[in-house]
Amino acid sequence: MVIAVGNSRLHVGAFLAGELKQVRRLSRASHHDWPGQLAEVWSEFAGVSGAEVAGCCVVPGLLEQVEAVVKSATGQAVLWVGNEIELPIKVLTKEPEKTGVDRVLVTAAAYEQLGKACVVVDAGTAMTVNLCNDKGELVGGAIAPGVGMMLGAMHEKTGQLPAIAFSAPTSDWGTDTVESMRHGVTHALRGLVQTMAERWAEASGTWPEVIATGGDAAALFEGWEIVHAVSPDLLLYGIALAYAEHHIKHGS
């Protein structure tokens, strides 16, 4: 079982023989439901010997809570990527230890699928744009507010802009306030992705494939011509990849 602890939710999956069999997205607000939900996912491994739980976490303050819930639901301790499990790719940023493990894992998963330089966009609470070279190394990228943060800031910092939920714009441009806000957020984030892809193309000498993941990826990027694919469970594949490569390397 793999579990990704994010700023807004837990992303949980069950891998059997390398295949992702089940996925759950659990809101942090509904933490009382976590034990039952995790136990249901863990039931996929009934009769399977040696099953373990691997995870990544970008919210250190939740580690103890998640570890306790997982232990009660599965009887297993969590093997965290970056601690018990080694990172699956090299990180070439100035401070690799401060680079988010989620950024590393989505980049590793995308490279494992493509086998070449790429741009990996993770559209969650924050949006990251991650640049991967032809060796499969994370060289850097960009971090920006995600759609929820942008819409929330517009509402909180102005006198008249409403609090709205995000969805993909349905018109060529905004003709009312709500649709104009959605256009503003969409094109701001798409502009970041396009700019970073162009810069990476200039640096690498070829146009990179762009892979998008994260909770808002489909609404932001589905059908956009520069995005090669939207893969909502890329982070789960990254955790599974790190787990598998760690055990292969150590012969366990």
Tens digit of each residue's pLDDT (9 = 90 or more) over 188-201:
999 999 999 999 99
With beta carbons less than 8 A apart as the criterion, state whether 165 and 181 touch.
no
Reply yes or no on whether the pLDDT at 90 is more than 90: yes
Give the pLDDT band (50/70/90) at residue 65: very high
pLDDT at position 29: 87
**Helix ranges (DSSP H) in the chain:** 34-42, 63-74, 101-114, 147-156, 177-204, 217-221, 234-250
With beta carbons less than 8 A apart as the criterion, state whether 166 and 219 touch.
yes
Residue range(s) in the chain whose domain bears CATH number 3.30.420.40: 2-80, 96-238
Classify 2-80 by CATH class. Answer: alpha beta
Q: Is 102 a catalytic site residue?
A: yes
Reply yes or no on whether the pLDDT at 252 is more than 80: no
DSSP SS3 for 131: strand
Q: Which of 102, 172, 216, 233 is an active site residue?
A: 102
pLDDT at position 207: 93
| CATH code for the structural domain at 96-238 | 3.30.420.40
Distant-in-sequence, close-in-space partners of 60: CB < 8 Å, separation ≥ 6: none
pLDDT at position 141: 97
Tens-place pLDDT, residues 103-118: 999 999 999 999 999 9
pTM (2 d.p.): 0.95
Reply yes or no on whether the pLDDT at 212 is more than 90: yes
Residue 75 phi/psi, 5° resolution? 80, 5
With beta carbons less than 8 A apart as the criterion, state whether 44 and 14 touch.
yes
Q: Is the dihedral of CA 89, 93, 97, 98 positive or negative?
A: negative
pLDDT at position 249: 86
Q: If 0-12 CB within 10 Å is exposed, 13-18 middle and 19+ buried, where does residue 161 land?
A: middle
Half-sphere exposure (Cβ direction) of 209: Cα atoms closer than 13 Å: 15
Pick from 229, 232, 192: nearest CA to 210: 229
Mean pLDDT value across residues 52-62: 95
Residue 69 CA to residue 167 CA, distance in Å, equals: 33
Distant-in-sequence, close-in-space partners of 191: CB < 8 Å, separation ≥ 6: none
Q: Which two tokens stand for residue 248?
A: 């292969």
